Structures are given as C-alpha cells and as structure tokens.
Amino acid sequence: MAADSSQDTVIISSATARPVIQSREFIPASLTPVPAPAMQGLGDIPLTAGEKNVAQRFETLRRLQNEDLITQDEYTRRRNANVGALLPYTRDPGAVGLERSVPSSDAIIARLAALRRSFEMRAITASQHALERTMILNALLPETPEERTERKPPPSDVLDGAAMVGHLDGLRAKNLISADEFGAEKDAIEHVLKTGLLPSQELAANAKRPAAKGGAAAAAKPAVGATNASYDPLTAEITGPVLHIASYRTEQAAKTGWDESVTRNKAALGSLKPIIRRVDLGAGKGVFYRLMAGTFKSVADAEAVCIQLKQNNQFCRASADGS
C-alpha cells in the first residue's frame, strides 16, 4: 500500500537502539504504558481498568488489519491465541499481561506505518523492520503465548453472571466477538448458574466418576495426558532434548496446563511425558514453573514437533537440556 504523502514521514535510522533478545521465558509485556482511553459502548456495567485494556488490545488488532498493517492471517492467529481473555469460559486463557495498559490504537497504527515507510525508503533494513514490528505486535497480542493467565473463576451468583453477560453483549456490539461466540459463552454462564459447574468442569467430573458395571464400580479412566502414579514431573530426569511449552506461577497450574496442552495437541504430545522445573527469574519476575515435554533422541526431532505445535498456536522452544 502506498504511503500517504500527506502524513509526516518518520525516519528510523539503522542507528536506532536495538532491543537485546535473550533466551528466557517470554512474559508478554505492554509497550510504554499510557493511560487507556475510556471505552464506550461496552454495556452499562462498569468495567475495570484491566477489562478496558484487554478490549482495547483486540480493537487495536482489528484496526491494524483494517489499515492493512497486518494480514488477515496474522489477525486470525493473534486473535485466536488470546481470545480467551474475552471468552474465559469457552476458550483457553489469553497471555499474561493483557490487562496492562497500552498506547492508543492511533499511536500503534502510526508507529507501524512509520516503520513500513522507513523500510520502503530503505532507511532501515528488512531485519530491523521485522524485529521492531514483531516486538510491537507480540506486546499487543502475542501469537504464541508462552505463559497464560489462570482460568477466570465462574460467576458466584445470578447477579455476577448477568453482569458478565452484559459485558459480553457490549463486546459483541463492538464487533470484538461474534454472535456465535457470544451465544456459546452465554450458554456456559447460564449452565454454571444452574448446575454450579461450567460445561468443561462437568465433563471433567463425569470422566473421573467411576461407572457402575455388574454391581461393582469400574475404575475411572485417567485424565488426558496423565502418567502413572509413580511418575513425578518435578523430579523426572531429563535424558535428552525437550520442548519448553509454557511457564506458570504454580505447580498445579503447570500440571493443569499439561492436560490442556495435550488435549489441544494430542498428535504431537500424546506420547510424551511432562517435565516441570521450578525456575527463579529473580527480582521483578519471581518464581515460575517451566512446563516441558520430552524427551527426544535429538534436537532435530524436538524441532520437528515444535513446528507442529506452533502451527496450532502453541508456544514451543526446543532445548537440548531444558535450560
């Protein structure tokens, strides 16, 4: 798309300071924070600052696609990887950090447009353009979240549930979610108000409940991705290359994350075992539980599976020793 000559051209020289890329847990962070503008039309219920920031991120992503600053495929991948932040009861949780404030949609659009013009004018290289562009988009809505938030608790009562549906209707009015997504989420909320369990929780409870047969209770089937009782992911030995697939704040969240990852990626992870390591990232970040899958005969084998996972919007990084 040709640059608009009526706009000021921002030249980003090759001397622009480059961010240092380190091989460590990527915790999605916002860009330089600025106060988030008030969101209008998201229903009559008051929204928290975090909820406004989440909605703003998805609205910005849609505007980027409308402005041809990202492709339809990029929009779809980044939205699908994080839409659980808008649909907490029917989709996987979004990336950590989406509730933080971000620059306005106008500011992000202007920055990406300036990067593109600078690249077209050869003021920056292709790698510089790609690096800065990817960092901005990952800070907005990461394509393959390495770390996801904890699942949102279900509504505590009918008033809480009604407020949630009102918020969803506002998101639908802003075209941030579809009518089908609204309906599925609304049904999940109504289900929990009637039964006390979300549909996914009810399915899990039924799977664990022994079934009577011949007057005796049959043993419940193990959960997806479960290993035998003597296997401990925290002490499992790493004997070869592994895949780092997520990081969580608690050990239990990591174990739950394994079952969810296997459910989404049965073909790639079904034959592997979980390995969990407690990692202290120091001041400002704290302790995380690194979830890995393994082990493999070679790094090449691990990379091949990693490619499959990334195609399914699953974060993945192959490692020779789990570091």
pLDDT digits (tens, 9 = 90+) for 107-166: 999 999 999 999 999 999 999 999 999 999 999 999 888 888 887 888 888 888 899 999
- The pLDDT of 219-229, averaged and rounded, is 45
b/e 106-137 (16+ beta carbons within 10 angstroms → b): eebbebbbbbbbbbeeebbeeebbebbbeebb
- Rounded to 5°, the CA angle 256-101-253 comes to 10
Domain 242-319, CATH among 3.40.50.300, 3.30.70.1350, 3.30.9.10, 3.30.70.1070: 3.30.70.1070
- The pLDDT of 237-241, averaged and rounded, is 86
Please provide the average confidence, as pLDDT, over all residues in the chain: 79
Domain residue ranges in the chain: 1-147+155-198, 242-319
pLDDT digits (tens, 9 = 90+) for 64-92: 999 999 999 999 989 988 999 999 888 88
